[in-house]
Amino acid sequence: MPELTRRRHNDPQRQGWDVYYGDVRVGHIGERAGVPKIVDQWGWTCGFYPGCDPGEQQHGIGATFEDARAGFDAAWKRMLPKKTEAHFEMWRYQRDADAWKRRMWDEKCRMPSQREDGQSNCFCGEPITNRSVPEHIRKAHRGIGNDSHSVRRRPTFGRE
């Protein structure tokens, strides 16, 4: 079973971490924005979309990072037994499809839907149609949206 890891997000105003289960972003722990100093300064969310129903998403607050992390941990332990590989795959496909569309845009490739005959070519050269796009992304570009190899991560619940 993959370990949870965390990765600092790139908001210079606030400290915060995205939490990953393997390569799937399953939540966030971070300083809360715009709250008075006398209330808990840290918040967490647990859940991922697509893959979780909106009602399954959980969130909470804590006085310190450690408190928020403990809240997240408890929520994750409730959520994980209800999740199967298919849920994580839904999230991964969406991640890859978003990255694929950005790359198509960057490479100035037309989407099949932008052409009258419904046929186009992927940036890799492969012919694609509206119908074949999901399958093509899964088969030829799986992991295109996964940038985890280029970024250093830390264990979420281990030692600093």
List of residues contacting Zn ion (CB under 5 A): 122, 124, 126, 140
Q: Which residue is nearest to Zn ion (CB)?
A: 122
Residue number, 2 or 127, with CB nearest to Zn ion: 127
CB of 104 to Zn ion, least distance (A): 9
CB of 76 to Zn ion, least distance (A): 35
Residue number, 64 or 121, with CB nearest to Zn ion: 121
Residue number, 69 or 92, with CB nearest to Zn ion: 92
Alpha carbons 112 and 52: distance in angstroms, whole number = 30
Residue number, 82 or 108, with CB nearest to Zn ion: 108
Cα 62–11–36 angle (5° rounding)? 40
Residue number, 80 or 124, with CB nearest to Zn ion: 124
Alpha carbons 125 and 158: distance in angstroms, whole number = 44
Q: Which two tokens stand for residue 35?
A: 């709250």
CB of 128 to Zn ion, least distance (A): 7
Alpha carbons 21 and 88: distance in angstroms, whole number = 9
CB of 100 to Zn ion, least distance (A): 8
59, 45 in Cβ contact below 8 A? yes
CB of 1 to Zn ion, least distance (A): 31
CB atoms < 10 A from the CB of 81, how many?
A: 7
Q: Which two tokens stand for residue 6?
A: 């965390």
Using DSSP's 3-state secondary structure scheme, residue 84 falls into: coil
